């Protein structure tokens, strides 16, 4: 194994080890999605047509992507930046391409674990999916890129504690507004229009269209999602500062 | 042969000129200390050499390479210890070192290195639970694990207790035996004097003096300093020694004469007559602190 791959794997391993060691990360990436899925599937408080789980399961999958690629990434990178971790790594042979590759792979691994946990759980709760694999994968990849780009915009430009607060606050807001657990039809028309323009709203629509019975992904959702998947990383490369202000 | 060269370096932060025309060279296989008070431009200088910031002007080279243009080559041959931080709070000591080792072609053995910096027994301790001194020792180990040819150590002993400081100095001194070029910054005069082969004194972004500790402290200034009870009759003593005597601060006296055996004998005889105990006596060679304080005051 060449040193290039060895370094990449070492960094991926450290990323995953730290995530598994960090209670807040586990709560965010697994605890909350599982909790929301089980709670709303059993407690009849949300206004659904038909089986609540058929609405909830795709929404919670989108929420899982949002928590990993946006909130958890932003908080982690924000503190790495503040603690000088990124700065130190900059003087080692790891290099930015392999650092980014390791972080991307870490997100992919976590999302795979989330799907492995949430999917059977949803089936047990009575979910009846109809999967279009290509559309599902495209939604996952585009949504992850858009969310990660936005997360890095925060993490690379704000103080770590501000990033922490903002990433959590925006997360709660997006979960409520994006049609993940509350159907968009229940929201006022103006809010609904905003929600559909959000990356999280488009992600939820795309995933729902890709895995739900009798629903197609609206073309509009693909356009919104793709636009964010381009704009957010471009903004991140402009905004991102590797060193925190001292 | 110079491993690190700095020529007329300037570093600017907005309107502030942090480094203003600094030049010096660090010989290969030697320890060079960049010494100065806080805000003298030490870290700015060393961070240019590490490739972290482009200079506003001047030329720098590290083992003949450009710190930024040749960064990808240099990271394999240069070890960097930042002034603070550098490790995530939840990372364990040995884990951090193993991770760093995996980034290099021929790293040192992480467990052995941990022992060398005195962290044996703390392999599983997380960064957040380490003392300031333990954190500094781990970051030193991280800088050394890739067997660097040049090590840049930014205030390696700041915030470390005296025992820990001694341990760090031993590790740094061993680097010289291994042929590693060390450039360190410090505001600790004693450290520079004990550890360095070459000292560059910075103040307000300029080099105010440079040389070996012996050269810097070898005094052409004819003076003898001694400490004794305050309030001695300096006029009478001056008459006795045929030299000007001043009490520079209470209990600290300065005799404007060469420290010849005759002068010293006359001084001690005069004190003995009056039964005055001598607290300390320095002649010929100043302490680096005297040089430093005089230069920085000028």
Write the DSSP string, A132-186.
-HHHHHHHHHHHHHHHHHHHHHHHTTS-HHHHHHHHHHHHHHHHHHTTSSS-GGG
Residue A95 to residue A91: CA distance in whole angstroms: 8
pLDDT for B23 beyond 90: yes
Q: Are the C-beta atoms of residues B137 and B156 closer than 8 Å to each other?
A: no
- Retrieve residue A88's tokens: 């130190």
Q: List the one residue out of B144, B198, A242 whose CA is nearest residue B136.
A: B144
Q: Report the pLDDT value the prediction gives residue A2, as an integer from 0 to 100.
A: 61
User: Which residues are within 8 A (CB) of B256 and not within 5 positions of it... i.e. 6 or more apart?
Assistant: B222, B223, B243, B244, B245, B246
pLDDT for A3 beyond 70: no
With both helix axes pointing from N to C terminus, report the angle between A52-65 and A32-42 in degrees, rounded to the nearest 10.
170
User: Which residues are within 8 A (CB) of B63 and not within 5 positions of it... i.e. 6 or more apart?
Assistant: B3, B4, B74, B77, B78, B149, B150
- How confident is the model over B242-270, as pLDDT tens digits? 899 999 889 999 898 887 888 888 898 99
Q: Out of A10, A83, A90, name the one closest to residue B85 (CB).
A: A83
Scan for tokens 């060279």, then name that residue: B25
Q: Report the pLDDT value the prediction gives residue B191, as an integer from 0 to 100.
A: 87
Consecutive H or E run containing B5: strand B2-13
Q: Are the C-beta atoms of residues B8 and B23 closer than 8 Å to each other?
A: yes
- Retrieve residue B231's tokens: 């309030």
Q: Count other C-beta atoms under 10 Å from residue B273's C-beta.
A: 9
- Retrieve residue A75's tokens: 């908080």
Q: Are the C-beta atoms of residues A21 and B91 closer than 8 Å to each other?
A: no
From chain A, the residues in CB contact with B72 under 8 A are 93, 95
Q: Count other C-beta atoms under 10 Å from residue A218's C-beta.
A: 15
Q: How confident is the model at residue B187 (pLDDT cuts 50, 70, 90)?
A: confident
Which letter does DSSP use for residue B15 in this model? T
Q: Name the residue in chain B with its Cα closest to that of A4.
A: B103
Instruction: Work out the minimum CA distance from B228 to partner chain A, whole angstroms.
Output: 45
From chain B, the residues in CB contact with A103 under 8 A are none
B86/A7 Cβ within 8 A: no
Percent of residues, chain A, with pLDDT higher than 70: 97
Instruction: Report ipTM for this prediction.
Output: 0.89
Residue B102 to residue B99: CA distance in whole angstroms: 5
User: Which residues are within 8 A (CB) of B135 and not within 5 positions of it... i.e. 6 or more apart?
Assistant: B87, B127
Tell me what the mean pLDDT of segment B20-40 comes to: 94
B51/A11 Cβ within 8 A: no
A10/B103 Cβ within 8 A: yes
- How confident is the model over B80-102, as pLDDT tens digits? 999 999 999 999 999 999 999 99
Interface test with B, best of A11, A21, A92 (most B CBs within 10 A): A92
Strand locations in B53-110 (E): 57-62, 78-81
Phi-psi region of A165 (alpha: psi -120 to 50; beta: other; left: phi over 0): alpha
Q: How many CB pairs lie under 8 A apart between chains A and B?
A: 72
- Retrieve residue B226's tokens: 């001694």
Q: How confident is the model at residue B2 (pLDDT cuts 50, 70, 90)?
A: very high
Q: Name the residue in chain A with its Cα closest to that of B103.
A: A7
From chain B, the residues in CB contact with A11 under 8 A are 99
From chain A, the residues in CB contact with B98 under 8 A are 10
Strand locations in B150-297 (E): 150-154, 181-186, 198-203, 206-211, 224-227, 245-249, 252-255, 280-283
pLDDT for B283 beyond 90: no
Residue B255: beta bridge partners? B224, B245
Q: Name the residue in chain A with its Cα closest to that of B67.
A: A91
Scored b (16 or more CB within 10 A) or e, B169-178 reads: bebbeebbee
Percent of residues, chain A, with pLDDT higher than 90: 83
Instruction: Work out the minimum CA distance from B218 to partner chain A, whole angstroms.
Output: 38
Residue A86 to residue A97: CA distance in whole angstroms: 13
Angle at CA B292, nearest 5°, toward B37 and B40? Answer: 25
- Retrieve residue B105's tokens: 């072609």
Of A2-6, A127-131, A153-157, B112-116, the poorest mean pLDDT is in: A2-6
Residue B26: beta bridge partners? B4
Q: List the one residue out of A103, A118, A185 whose CA is nearest residue A151.
A: A103
Q: List the one residue out of A66, A30, A49, A55 whose CA is nearest residue A179.
A: A55
Q: Out of A11, A83, A91, name the one closest to residue B75 (CB).
A: A91
pLDDT for A214 beyond 90: no
Q: How confident is the model at residue B291 (pLDDT cuts 50, 70, 90)?
A: confident
Q: Report the pLDDT value the prediction gives residue A161, as an integer from 0 to 100.
A: 96
Q: Out of A9, A11, A18, name the one closest to residue B90 (CB).
A: A18
- Retrieve residue A29's tokens: 């990436």
From chain A, the residues in CB contact with B130 under 8 A are none
B75/A21 Cβ within 8 A: no
Q: Name the residue in chain A with its Cα closest to that of B49.
A: A91
Q: Count other C-beta atoms under 10 Å from residue A62's C-beta.
A: 29
Consecutive H or E run containing B75: none
Residue with the larger pLDDT of the pair B224 and B198: B198
């Amino acid at each position: 194994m060449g040193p290039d791959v060895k370094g990449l794997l070492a960094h991926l391993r450290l990323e995953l080890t730290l995530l598994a060691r960090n209670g807040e990360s586990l709560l965010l990436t697994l605890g909350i999605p599982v909790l929301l899925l089980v709670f709303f599937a059993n407690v009849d408080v949300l206004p659904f047509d038909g089986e609540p789980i058929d609405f909830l399961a795709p929404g919670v999958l989108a929420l899982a992507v949002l928590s990993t690629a946006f909130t958890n990434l932003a908080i982690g990178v924000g503190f790495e930046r503040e603690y000088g971790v990124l700065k130190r790594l900059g003087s080692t042979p790891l290099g930015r391409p392999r650092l980014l590759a390791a972080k991307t792979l870490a997100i992919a691994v976590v999302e795979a674990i989330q799907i492995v946990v949430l999917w059977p759980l949803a089936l047990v709760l009575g979910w009846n999916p109809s999967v279009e694999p290509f559309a599902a994968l495209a939604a996952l990849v585009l949504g992850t890129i858009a969310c990660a780009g936005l997360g890095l915009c925060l993490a690379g430009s704000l103080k770590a504690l501000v990033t922490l607060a903002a990433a959590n606050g925006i997360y709660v807001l997006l979960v409520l507004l994006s049609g993940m657990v509350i159907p968009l039809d229940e929201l006022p028309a103006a809010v609904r229009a905003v929600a559909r323009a959000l990356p999280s709203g488009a992600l939820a629509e795309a995933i729902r269209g890709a895995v739900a019975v009798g629903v197609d992904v609206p073309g509009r959702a693909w356009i919104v999602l793709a636009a964010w998947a381009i704009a957010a990383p471009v903004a991140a490369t402009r905004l991102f500062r590797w060193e925190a202000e001292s | 042969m110079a491993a690190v060269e700095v020529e007329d370096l300037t570093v600017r932060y907005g309107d502030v000129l942090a480094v203003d025309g600094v030049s010096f060279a660090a010989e290969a296989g030697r320890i060079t200390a960049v010494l100065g008070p806080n805000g003298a431009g030490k870290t700015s200088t060393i961070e240019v050499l590490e490739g972290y910031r482009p200079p506003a002007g001047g030329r720098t080279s590290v083992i003949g390479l450009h710190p930024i243009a040749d960064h990808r080559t240099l990271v394999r041959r240069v070890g960097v210890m930042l002034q603070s931080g550098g490790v995530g709070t939840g990372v364990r000591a040995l884990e951090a070192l193993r991770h760093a080792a995996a980034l290099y072609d021929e790293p040192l053995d992480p467990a052995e290195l941990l022992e060398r910096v005195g962290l044996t027994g703390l392999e599983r301790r997380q960064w957040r639970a380490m003392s300031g001194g333990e954190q500094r020792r781990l970051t030193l180990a991280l800088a050394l694990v890739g067997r660097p040819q040049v090590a840049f150590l930014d205030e390696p002993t700041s915030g470390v207790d005296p025992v820990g400081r001694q341990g760090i100095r031993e590790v740094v001194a061993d680097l010289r035996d291994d042929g590693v070029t060390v450039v360190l910054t410090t505001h600790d005069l004693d450290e520079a004097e004990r550890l360095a082969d070459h000292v560059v004194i910075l103040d307000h972004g300029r080099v105010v003096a440079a040389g070996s500790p012996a050269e810097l402290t070898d005094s052409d200034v004819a003076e003898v300093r001694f400490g004794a009870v305050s309030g001695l009759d300096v006029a009478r003593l001056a008459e006795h020694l045929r030299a000007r005597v001043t009490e520079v601060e209470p209990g600290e006296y300065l005799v404007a004469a060469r420290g010849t055996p005759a002068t010293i004998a006359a001084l001690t005889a005069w004190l003995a007559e009056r039964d005055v105990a001598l607290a300390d006596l320095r002649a010929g060679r100043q302490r680096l602190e005297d040089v430093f304080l005089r230069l920085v005051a000028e």
